[in-house]
Structure 1
Amino acid sequence: MSIASNRELAENKLILLYILDKLNMPVSNLQLTKIVMENKLMNYFIFQQFLDELCSLKFISPKITDNKTYYTITPSGKQALDYFVNHIPKGIKLIINNYISNVRKNIRNETFIKADFTPENENEFTVTCQIREDTFSLIDLKISVGTKSDAKDICKNWQKHSQTIYSEIIESLIKPRD
């Protein structure tokens, strides 16, 4: 392996650490893949290999929540990044910084606002809607509905309007009743 390819391997690992550091929140494999692929930072297979290697080195910490793996940079990963950050080309850092500032809110919403449904039988679906802040759950709502279409509509509305719906639920629950 040549010195140039060793440098590229190290640079790609540093890019992953840089992305996680700049996001400063847990991010799913899908979200991380989207960032890497949309910005053409490396190919998918190399990305997955480096992600696994960085986890093995304990530079990235994987945590499973709701059957999804979320990644964060560890203190040792942050230390390595701080030491070698200048090995990432300035143009790539600029691309990452711009991209993250544009999608940060969407990533946060995807991470902390969840809506999903599971079929119980052909005429019953359980919809789960959540809002979380860090590890604290503001609301965890389960609703049974009769059609898949209703379940999809609830999920779509929750993703788009969860803050408003949450406020309406709280207001309705605290309003004095006769």
Structure 2
Amino acid sequence: MYESSSELAENKLLMLYVLKSIKNPISNTQLTEIILENNFINYFTFQQYLSELENSKFVEYREANDKKLLILTEKGDTVLSLFKDRLSPSKISIVDEYIKEKIESIKKELTIHADYTIGTNDSFIVDLKAIENQALLMELKLTVPSKNQANSICNKWKENPSEIYTNIINVLIN
């Protein structure tokens, strides 16, 4: 029993450590990916631990630009600083390396939004957003006649948002 409670504590601390290391609010999906891709905890256990951390007020969700994002609370940060030495150095190293490699794509996911909905007369409404430091840089809504066009626009926006944003700004300014 002691071994499993020790493991439980380490896994929860690891989740808090990931949130602290990223230094930005992230989605449940992003935190899940980090934990699962590194084989730290299985999905169902992870979700249970996350729920327990939220109930204990160690993490909380915040609404930001139509997304629910996780943050480490002050209480969670205090607990992490008190018990960080219980985390294995190898797991800390894995998390640090993973975040170093993936931080740009994590930030991009949080700052770039592309989605479409069905409009009137069989058209599709494409909604594109660019967000920086939680401030809206640009929001563009377009109506296109086909789902393929809507999908293509969303994919191109996600692939190269800064170039598209710059081109739009240049066209409007020049």
SS in 2 for 1:128: strand
SS in 1 for 2:119: strand
Give 1:4 deviation, angstroms: 1.3
* Distance in 2 of aligned mates of 1:143 and 1:101: 36
Amino acid in structure 1 at the alignment position of 2:162: Q
Deviations 1:123-175 (A, max 9, x none): 21111111101221000111110000000110011011111111111111112
Amino acid in structure 1 at the alignment position of 2:16: L
Structure 1 unaligned segments of length 5 or more: list them: none
Deviations 1:94-145 (A, max 9, x none): 1111111111100100011111111124621111111101221000111110
Amino acid in structure 2 at the alignment position of 1:53: E
* Distance in 2 of aligned mates of 1:57 and 1:76: 9
2:42 alignment partner in structure 1: 43
1:116 alignment partner in structure 2: 115
Asked whether 1:172 is paired with 2:171, we answer yes
Give 1:48 deviation, angstroms: 0.3
* Distance in 2 of aligned mates of 1:27 and 1:91: 23
* Distance in 2 of aligned mates of 1:120 and 1:43: 40
1:76 alignment partner in structure 2: 75
Once structures 1 and 2 are overlaid, which stretch shifts more, 115-124 or 55-64? 115-124
The 1:151–1:81 alpha-carbon spacing in structure 2 relative to 1, beyond 3 Å, is same
Deviations 1:37-64 (A, max 9, x none): 1100011111001111111111111123
* Distance in 2 of aligned mates of 1:19 and 1:77: 12
Q: Percent identity?
A: 36
Amino acid in structure 1 at the alignment position of 2:30: Q
Amino acid in structure 2 at the alignment position of 1:127: V
Deviations 1:64-109 (A, max 9, x none): 3465421011111111111111100000001111111111100100
Amino acid in structure 2 at the alignment position of 1:58: K
SS in 1 for 2:45: helix
Deviations 1:7-35 (A, max 9, x none): 11111110000000111111111111111
1:159 alignment partner in structure 2: 158
2:146 alignment partner in structure 1: 147
* Distance in 1 of aligned mates of 2:64 and 2:170: 29
Asked whether 1:60 is paired with 2:59, we answer yes
Please tell me whether the aligned partners of residues 124 and 150 of structure 2 are also in contact (alpha carbons under 8 angstroms).
yes
The 1:128–1:38 alpha-carbon spacing in structure 2 relative to 1, beyond 3 Å, is same
Structure 2 unaligned segments of length 5 or more: list them: none
2:85 alignment partner in structure 1: 86
Compute the TM-score of the two structures, normalised by the length of structure 1.
0.93
* Distance in 1 of aligned mates of 2:64 and 2:116: 16
* Distance in 1 of aligned mates of 2:66 and 2:54: 18
State the superposition RMSD in angstroms: 1.3
The number of residues matched between the two structures is 174
Once structures 1 and 2 are overlaid, which stretch shifts more, 73-82 or 58-67? 58-67
1:102 alignment partner in structure 2: 101
Compute the TM-score of the two structures, normalised by the length of structure 2.
0.95
